[in-house]
Amino acid sequence: GAGVSQSPSNKVTEKGKDVELRCDPISGHTALYWYRQRLGQGLEFLIYFQGNSAPDKSGLPSDRFSAERTGESVSTLTIQRTQQEDSAVYLCASSLRVSGIYNEQFFGPGTRLTVL
Amino acid sequence: GESVGLHLPTLSVQEGDNSIINCAYSNSASDYFIWYKQESGKGPQFIIDIRSNMDKRQGQRVTVLLNKTVKHLSLQIAATQPGDSAVYFCAEPSISGGYNKLIFGAGTRLAVHP
Protein backbone atom coordinates (compact mmCIF):
# COMPACT_ATOMS: atom_id res chain seq x y z
CA GLY A 1 0.00 0.00 0.00
CA ALA A 2 1.08 3.53 -0.73
CA GLY A 3 2.13 5.83 2.03
CA VAL A 4 1.34 9.50 2.45
CA SER A 5 2.25 11.45 -0.65
CA GLN A 6 2.81 15.18 -1.00
CA SER A 7 3.20 17.48 -3.95
CA PRO A 8 5.12 19.31 -5.10
CA SER A 9 8.29 18.03 -3.49
CA ASN A 10 9.89 21.44 -3.91
CA LYS A 11 8.36 24.84 -4.44
CA VAL A 12 10.18 28.10 -5.01
CA THR A 13 8.06 31.22 -5.02
CA GLU A 14 8.43 34.95 -4.80
CA LYS A 15 7.51 36.92 -1.73
CA GLY A 16 3.88 37.97 -1.86
CA LYS A 17 2.68 35.10 -4.04
CA ASP A 18 0.17 32.46 -2.91
CA VAL A 19 1.10 28.77 -2.79
CA GLU A 20 -0.90 25.57 -2.50
CA LEU A 21 0.56 22.37 -1.09
CA ARG A 22 -1.15 19.04 -1.52
CA CYS A 23 -1.35 15.95 0.66
CA ASP A 24 -2.75 12.53 -0.20
CA PRO A 25 -3.21 10.51 3.00
CA ILE A 26 -3.10 6.76 3.37
CA SER A 27 -6.37 5.27 2.21
CA GLY A 28 -8.69 4.64 5.12
CA HIS A 29 -6.98 7.09 7.45
CA THR A 30 -9.59 9.44 8.80
CA ALA A 31 -7.20 11.83 10.54
CA LEU A 32 -4.85 14.19 8.71
CA TYR A 33 -2.26 16.56 10.11
CA TRP A 34 -0.06 19.35 8.77
CA TYR A 35 3.24 20.30 10.39
CA ARG A 36 5.91 22.84 9.55
CA GLN A 37 9.62 22.16 9.96
CA ARG A 38 12.02 25.06 9.79
CA LEU A 39 15.64 24.33 8.98
CA GLY A 40 17.38 22.51 11.79
CA GLN A 41 14.31 22.45 13.98
CA GLY A 42 11.61 20.08 15.10
CA LEU A 43 8.14 19.89 13.66
CA GLU A 44 5.49 22.44 14.62
CA PHE A 45 1.86 21.42 14.53
CA LEU A 46 -0.31 23.50 12.19
CA ILE A 47 -3.74 21.91 11.75
CA TYR A 48 -5.62 18.63 12.26
CA PHE A 49 -8.62 17.20 10.41
CA GLN A 50 -10.78 14.34 11.65
CA GLY A 51 -13.63 13.16 9.49
CA ASN A 52 -16.37 15.73 9.23
CA SER A 53 -15.52 17.42 12.53
CA ALA A 54 -14.37 21.03 12.63
CA PRO A 55 -10.60 21.09 12.15
CA ASP A 56 -8.23 22.01 14.96
CA LYS A 57 -6.57 25.12 13.56
CA SER A 58 -4.79 26.08 16.76
CA GLY A 59 -1.32 25.80 15.24
CA LEU A 60 -1.81 28.03 12.22
CA PRO A 61 0.65 30.94 12.67
CA SER A 62 -1.40 33.62 10.92
CA ASP A 63 -4.54 34.18 8.89
CA ARG A 64 -2.41 33.84 5.75
CA PHE A 65 -2.43 30.10 6.39
CA SER A 66 -5.47 27.96 5.66
CA ALA A 67 -6.18 24.35 4.87
CA GLU A 68 -9.01 22.33 3.45
CA ARG A 69 -9.82 18.68 3.28
CA THR A 70 -12.43 17.00 1.12
CA GLY A 71 -14.07 14.25 3.14
CA GLU A 72 -11.41 11.78 4.20
CA SER A 73 -9.15 12.29 1.22
CA VAL A 74 -6.89 14.96 -0.18
CA SER A 75 -5.95 18.06 1.75
CA THR A 76 -4.48 21.33 0.54
CA LEU A 77 -2.54 23.82 2.64
CA THR A 78 -2.65 27.35 1.26
CA ILE A 79 -0.30 30.13 2.21
CA GLN A 80 -1.32 33.55 0.96
CA ARG A 81 1.05 36.46 0.42
CA THR A 82 4.06 34.35 1.27
CA GLN A 83 6.84 35.82 3.38
CA GLN A 84 10.46 34.72 3.63
CA GLU A 85 9.85 33.36 7.11
CA ASP A 86 7.39 30.90 5.58
CA SER A 87 10.35 29.05 4.04
CA ALA A 88 10.31 25.58 5.57
CA VAL A 89 9.43 21.98 4.89
CA TYR A 90 5.70 21.36 5.22
CA LEU A 91 4.91 17.82 6.31
CA CYS A 92 1.62 16.01 6.18
CA ALA A 93 0.72 12.95 8.24
CA SER A 94 -2.30 10.70 8.47
CA SER A 95 -3.57 8.18 10.99
CA LEU A 96 -6.48 6.04 11.91
CA ARG A 97 -8.56 7.59 14.62
CA VAL A 98 -9.48 5.97 17.90
CA SER A 99 -10.52 8.55 20.45
CA GLY A 100 -8.73 8.84 23.77
CA ILE A 101 -5.46 7.27 22.71
CA TYR A 102 -2.58 8.20 20.49
CA ASN A 103 -2.90 6.93 16.94
CA GLU A 104 0.40 6.50 15.10
CA GLN A 105 0.94 9.22 12.55
CA PHE A 106 2.51 8.28 9.24
CA PHE A 107 4.38 11.11 7.59
CA GLY A 108 4.80 12.05 3.97
CA PRO A 109 8.15 13.22 2.53
CA GLY A 110 7.20 16.88 2.82
CA THR A 111 7.18 19.88 0.49
CA ARG A 112 10.18 22.15 0.71
CA LEU A 113 8.99 25.72 0.29
CA THR A 114 11.46 28.47 -0.48
CA VAL A 115 10.26 32.05 -0.55
CA LEU A 116 12.65 34.40 -2.30
CA GLY B 1 2.98 24.66 28.87
CA GLU B 2 4.10 21.43 27.30
CA SER B 3 7.51 21.29 25.71
CA VAL B 4 9.98 18.66 24.70
CA GLY B 5 13.62 19.49 24.20
CA LEU B 6 16.97 17.89 23.67
CA HIS B 7 20.37 18.25 25.31
CA LEU B 8 22.64 17.70 22.30
CA PRO B 9 22.20 19.07 18.80
CA THR B 10 24.74 16.70 17.18
CA LEU B 11 26.30 13.39 18.02
CA SER B 12 29.20 11.79 16.15
CA VAL B 13 29.99 8.13 16.75
CA GLN B 14 32.12 5.42 15.24
CA GLU B 15 30.44 2.57 13.43
CA GLY B 16 29.85 -0.25 15.87
CA ASP B 17 29.71 1.96 18.94
CA ASN B 18 26.59 2.49 20.99
CA SER B 19 24.76 5.82 20.67
CA ILE B 20 22.75 7.59 23.33
CA ILE B 21 20.42 10.45 22.46
CA ASN B 22 18.81 12.38 25.28
CA CYS B 23 15.58 14.30 25.63
CA ALA B 24 13.92 16.28 28.42
CA TYR B 25 10.24 17.07 28.82
CA SER B 26 8.46 19.56 31.00
CA ASN B 27 4.96 18.24 31.61
CA SER B 28 4.89 15.80 34.52
CA ALA B 29 1.47 14.61 33.32
CA SER B 30 2.91 13.40 30.00
CA ASP B 31 2.13 9.72 29.66
CA TYR B 32 3.40 8.65 26.27
CA PHE B 33 6.58 9.32 24.32
CA ILE B 34 7.77 8.47 20.86
CA TRP B 35 11.14 8.51 19.13
CA TYR B 36 11.25 9.33 15.45
CA LYS B 37 14.05 9.00 12.91
CA GLN B 38 14.21 11.44 10.02
CA GLU B 39 16.54 10.78 7.14
CA SER B 40 17.48 13.52 4.74
CA GLY B 41 14.60 14.44 2.44
CA LYS B 42 12.11 12.20 4.17
CA GLY B 43 9.40 12.53 6.75
CA PRO B 44 9.87 11.29 10.32
CA GLN B 45 9.60 7.55 10.82
CA PHE B 46 8.42 5.91 14.04
CA ILE B 47 11.16 4.00 15.87
CA ILE B 48 9.90 3.12 19.31
CA ASP B 49 7.50 4.37 21.94
CA ILE B 50 7.12 4.12 25.69
CA ARG B 51 4.29 4.70 28.11
CA SER B 52 4.80 6.40 31.44
CA ASN B 53 4.03 3.21 33.37
CA MET B 54 7.27 1.76 32.00
CA ASP B 55 10.92 2.61 32.68
CA LYS B 56 12.41 0.77 29.74
CA ARG B 57 11.36 -0.62 26.44
CA GLN B 58 13.49 -2.53 23.95
CA GLY B 59 13.22 -2.93 20.22
CA GLN B 60 15.58 -4.22 17.61
CA ARG B 61 18.95 -2.60 18.49
CA VAL B 62 17.12 0.29 20.17
CA THR B 63 16.17 0.85 23.78
CA VAL B 64 14.25 3.74 25.27
CA LEU B 65 14.67 4.62 28.92
CA LEU B 66 12.26 6.85 30.81
CA ASN B 67 13.09 8.58 34.08
CA LYS B 68 9.93 10.26 35.29
CA THR B 69 11.61 11.66 38.39
CA VAL B 70 13.78 14.00 36.35
CA LYS B 71 11.51 14.05 33.28
CA HIS B 72 14.12 12.64 30.99
CA LEU B 73 14.15 9.99 28.32
CA SER B 74 16.88 8.55 26.18
CA LEU B 75 17.23 6.52 23.04
CA GLN B 76 20.03 4.01 22.94
CA ILE B 77 21.14 2.51 19.64
CA ALA B 78 23.36 -0.55 19.90
CA ALA B 79 26.13 -1.25 17.40
CA THR B 80 25.44 1.92 15.45
CA GLN B 81 25.53 1.49 11.67
CA PRO B 82 25.96 4.03 8.84
CA GLY B 83 22.26 3.60 8.06
CA ASP B 84 21.46 5.01 11.48
CA SER B 85 22.74 8.42 10.39
CA ALA B 86 19.74 10.72 10.62
CA VAL B 87 18.08 13.29 12.85
CA TYR B 88 16.31 11.80 15.85
CA PHE B 89 13.37 13.48 17.54
CA CYS B 90 11.57 12.75 20.75
CA ALA B 91 7.90 13.65 20.68
CA GLU B 92 4.81 13.41 22.78
CA PRO B 93 1.12 13.69 21.93
CA SER B 94 -0.38 16.82 23.40
CA ILE B 95 -2.70 15.87 26.23
CA SER B 96 -4.48 19.20 26.03
CA GLY B 97 -4.86 18.60 22.31
CA GLY B 98 -6.65 15.29 22.84
CA TYR B 99 -3.63 13.32 21.66
CA ASN B 100 -4.24 14.73 18.19
CA LYS B 101 -1.09 16.76 17.80
CA LEU B 102 2.52 15.85 18.38
CA ILE B 103 4.94 18.09 20.23
CA PHE B 104 8.45 17.58 18.93
CA GLY B 105 11.83 18.36 20.40
CA ALA B 106 14.43 20.18 18.33
CA GLY B 107 16.20 17.02 17.22
CA THR B 108 19.68 15.49 17.45
CA ARG B 109 21.70 14.76 14.36
CA LEU B 110 23.50 11.42 14.57
CA ALA B 111 26.55 11.09 12.32
CA VAL B 112 28.06 7.61 12.08
CA HIS B 113 31.67 7.44 10.90
CA PRO B 114 33.28 4.30 9.45
Q: Which residues of A touch B40 (CB under 8 A)?
A: none
Higher per-residue confidence, B2 vs B10 = B10
Q: Buried b / exposed e across A12-31, counting CB within 10 Å, b at 16+?
A: ebeeeeebebebbbbeebbb
Q: Give the three-class secondary structure for A40.
A: coil
Q: What percent of chain B has pLDDT over 70?
A: 93
Contact B105 A33 (CB under 8 A): no
Tens-digit pLDDT profile for residues A39-68: 888 899 999 998 888 889 999 999 999 999
B107 touches chain A (CB under 8 A): yes
In sequence order, the β-bridge partners of residue A6 are A23
Closest approach of B16 to chain A, Cα-based (Å): 26
Q: Please answer yes or no on whether B107 and A33 come within 8 Å at the CB atom.
A: no
Average pLDDT, chain A: 93
Per DSSP, the residues of B65-108 read EEETTTTEEEEEESS--GGG-EEEEEEEE-TTTTT-SEEE---E
* B18-47 residue pLDDT tens: 999 999 998 888 889 999 999 998 999 999
